[in-house]
Structure 1
Amino acid sequence: MARPPPNPLYILRGSGDVVNTLHFCCDGQGPSLLYSGSGKGAIHVWNLTTRRPECVLESHSGNSVIWLQALKESSTLISQGRDMRMCVWDLSEGRGALTDSLLTGSVGFCQCSLLETRPGSTLLAHPTEHMEEVSVVEMKSWTQVCTLKPDLKVGMLMCMKMWQAQSGPVLCAGYEDGSVILWDVSHRRPFSCLKAHTEPVMCLDVDVCRQKGVSGSSDNILHSWTIDDQRNLQMHSSVQLTNPGVSSARVRTDGKILATAGWDNNIRVFGWKKLKPLAVLQHHTDMVNTVAFSDHQDPPQRLLAAGSKDQRITVWSIYSES
């Protein structure tokens, strides 16, 4: 018989509002941290040893924080808010100083994507005031590298991820009409387009090592797709969910499992190879908005965190065997 789904390792309370976004920082150099962004603009820096906030940043003029990411091997945190701004924070030596910001003009919910191309050089892809457009900037100077705007009418930009390929930066974006477009950032043109869903693409993730991605929608179908040698997107497999609506989808860095955040209050875990359902994690009493995996085995077990509209963050240890 299959083992019953586990309970959370622990629950983090005190975010004070809806939890929109989560990001782990487990570099092995200091305490393992989890950053969370709330609907009232608070950024909590949770110490996973003490399970308490090390600090709370009041940000984005009290508007929702919808995305967070820390730069590798530094104490710099980037946040995106519904006040149409990107903020850069210095968290070194206990500081919580706002050091820079960028006005994006975007009023949508599309999260940014960060790519560190080499030490000291970071590209940031962000939505703009033009609802279907992506702008890619060099972060140090905020110099615009390019804008990416589809020729086809695909509607609003909904989600995206950027990574480094041998030929240069590549960006995958999901749109309101259900399309997924793979972009050649260097040449500012699309490689290919796939009509993956009949409803808006709410989230996507890409397993760069396996050249395979996943997308979730407001419908009840989760799709995986591959990127071939000619950079063509091709449908791979699908799984029908019990209830519609996926807010977030993340592939663990070892490429073994996938986790999704559901509108039905549940976290679902799948085998990544064949989208085989493995577990339904039930704890939250409202919509789950975000899921995140720890990239390093520090603490020793691999962790999964989920943030919900119920203002709680659950932390789980699942399928931790290497």
Structure 2
Amino acid sequence: MATTSIAAARPPAQPTAILRGHRAQVHAAVFARLDRAASSDETMTADTRLVTGDSDGYVVLWDLAIVRARGVWRAHQNSILGIAAWDDAGQIVTHGRDHKLVVWQVGVADEVRLSAVLPLDQESKTSSKESHPQPWMVHVLDVNTMNFCAFAWCGLVGSVAAVTTAAPTSTDTQLTTTNGPPTERLVAVPNTLTLEAADIYHLPSQRRINTVRLGTKEGMIMALALFYAPVSEPTDDSQRTLVLIAAFENGVVVLALLRQGADGPAEIIYRAQPHSQPILSLDVAPDCSYFLTSAADAVIAKHPIRVPAVKKTATAAPAPPRPSAPVGPSPPPPAGKTVSLLSAALAKEAALSPSPSSSSAPPKGTAPSAPIEVETQPLTIINTKHAGQQGIRIRDDGRLFATAGWDARVRVYAAQTMKEVAVLKWHQTGCFTVAFAPVVRPDTEGEGNNTAAKPTEGPSAGNTTTTLATRSTRRDISVKERRLRHAVTAHWLAVGSKDGKVSLWDIF
């Protein structure tokens, strides 16, 4: 009884900061590193930004240390469906309803070129490129955005190159796999003509390399995921398999494997329908062992990711020659008995033909295996009693996940038990997106959560990345350094709402 009264007396949690700048609804948010070194494995440094996009096509880079905008530009002429960050070189990807997917080159040095005037501070909604200059466009891809589904992407294992066929009059191309640098990407978006199909594009070639049909009468694709997952029962020669997940309008979820690469055939191994309403969002666990889906109904479902291994056999050796069928002229017929020419020819053909056992031998390469049984049961299904939970995201340590609700509340759950652990309420209108900041790893964490990054060998003049590990050991740190350290080490949760505001929460 006393515990209940104490819990009831606690004031509700409040956001650490409110980011006001968008004039329209905030549809996408992600935490991104602007200058990630190739050999650096830190999760967050002083060049970490919160990137948000709204329904007018504007993108804002928020500096977490000063809680101010560092850069603003109009990325699309229509609503932004999704935003992601490449793993290297500070590239940000935006997907808009103007049928464009653009890869932007945004670094700390590029921020000086960008305008800091927020869309809310403009006198009118229309803004020219002169007042809001855009960053450098690395790639521009024409894609389908008729069904409001955001893109999915992953790095390419190996590389895909276009090779012209040997025929001089043919313009067809085929795909070959090489061991190039890991700078190539795969992008998945819904197909333009077929509702139940997804297109896979290759960057930087900007070519569509595959169209995967994942259903027949499921309706539009509402959410996609594309990633490489390890096999459930690894063997000596097993490799990571490309996985494509699609969530449909009728509540069906389909998981398909592309074992032969992004341009190969797809094999469906999981199909379930835990939702009765259109699925709004899905997210994959950091260890690729499961994924979560949320929909317009009150259900949150946890689905398995089990990639069965394919057993391979050695190449069949050529069969030894049969001693009973010597090659050479046929023996002479017995004396006193005549043999027709037809009988002699049939006898010779029978002697040279292989035995029935050798003719039914399996072909070279992979042995034929029985078809894999399609799974249909999710791991866990919970009824939250709150319809319309959108923008589901799992934190990178795999401990928590959160959903943005149409009832203006953000709910945080424990990933292992699927239990609700917190309800965050500040916005007065519906929430559309949530984003977790990367948490500090235990091996890079110091006492009292004081270190957020490993020391670097001297910061450059053009880079604002600060070595926090060495400065955090001093007790007489300045207010600026304390603010910067908190901005890096805090477990941020960003929430984008219909009111155009972004709330920033520091959660456990």
Q: Is the 8 A contact 1:31 1:49 kept in 2?
A: no
Q: Does 1:142 align with 2:206?
A: yes
- Residues 5 and 171 of structure 1, relative CA distance in 2, 3 Å threshold: farther
1:236-251 matches, within 5 Å, as: 236-251=379-394
Q: Which residue of 1 aligns with 2:145?
A: 106
- Alignment RMSD: 1.9
Q: Which amino acid aligns with 1:37?
A: G
Is 1:88 the equivalent of 2:88? Answer: no
1:217 to 295, 320, 323: 295
Q: Does 2:183 correspond to 1:120?
A: yes
Q: From the two aligned structures, give the one with the greater helix fraction.
A: 2
Equivalenced residue count is 318
Q: Cα deviations across residues 66-118 of structure 1 (Å, max 9, x unaligned)?
A: 11111112121110001111012111321512333111133121111110135
Corresponding residue number in structure 1 for 2:472: none
Return the match for 2:433 from 286, 290, 297. 290
Question: Which residue of 2 is the match for residue 19 of structure 1?
Answer: 26
What is the CA-CA distance between 1:229 and the residue it aligns to? 4.9
Paired with 2:285 and 2:375, the residues of 1 have a C-alpha distance of 15
How far apart are the structure 1 equivalents of 2:288 and 2:102?
32
2:122 aligned with 1:44:
no
**Could you give the per-residue CA deviations for residues 208-252 of structure 1, whole angstroms, max 9, x where no partner exists?**
516112111111111112223548463122222232111111111
Q: Does 1:65 align with 2:80?
A: yes
What is the CA distance between 1:50 and its match in structure 2?
Answer: 1.3
The one-letter amino acid of 2:148's match is F
Secondary structure, counterpart of 1:243 in structure 2: coil
Moved more, 89-98 or 253-262: 89-98
CA deviations on 1:189-222 (whole Å, 9 max, x unpaired) are: 3222111211111111111516112111111111
Matched with 1:313 is 502
* 1:184 maps to 2:257: yes
User: How does the TM-score come out when normalised to structure 1?
Assistant: 0.93
1:39 and 1:23 mapped to 2: Cα distance?
16
* Structure 2: distance between partners of 1:303 and 1:233: 36
8 Å CA contact 1:268, 1:280 repeated in 2: yes
| Alignment-mate amino acid for residue 219 of structure 1 | D
* Higher mean displacement: 7-16 or 166-175: 166-175
Contact 2:274 2:381 in 1 (8 A): no
Query: Deviation digits for residues 126-176 of structure 1, max 9, x if unmatched?
Result: 123233321111111112231111243111000011111234210111001
Q: How far apart, CA to CA, are the structure 2 residues paired with 1:216 and 1:226?
A: 15
Deviation at 1:4, TM superposition (A): 5.6
Q: Which has the higher strand share?
A: 1
Q: Identity rate of aligned residues, in percent?
A: 28
Q: Is the contact between residue 96 and residue 145 of structure 2 (CA under 8 Å) also seen in structure 1? A: no
SS at structure 1 position matched to 2:428? coil
The answer to whether the Cα contact below 8 Å between 1:5 and 1:279 also exists between their aligned partners in 2 is no
Moved over 3 A (4+): 1-5, 26-30, 228-234
Aligned position for 2:284: 206
Who is 2:192 aligned against? 129
The structure with more radius of gyration? 2
Distance (Å, rounded) in 2 between the aligned partners of 1:9 and 1:233: 42
For structure 1, which segment, 262-271 or 134-143, has the greater mean C-alpha deviation from structure 2 after superposition?
134-143
Q: CA deviation at 1:10?
A: 0.7
SS at match of 1:141: coil
For 2:404, the equivalent position in structure 1 comes to 261
Which amino acid in the other structure matches residue 431 of structure 2?
A: V
Structure 1 distance, partners of 2:186, 2:141, is: 13
Q: Which amino acid aligns with 2:242?
A: P
* Per-residue deviation, 1:32: 1.9
Confirm whether residue 172 of structure 1 aligns to residue 245 of structure 2.
yes
Name the amino acid aligned to 1:218.
A
Instruction: State the distance in 2 between where 1:69 and 1:229 align.
Output: 26
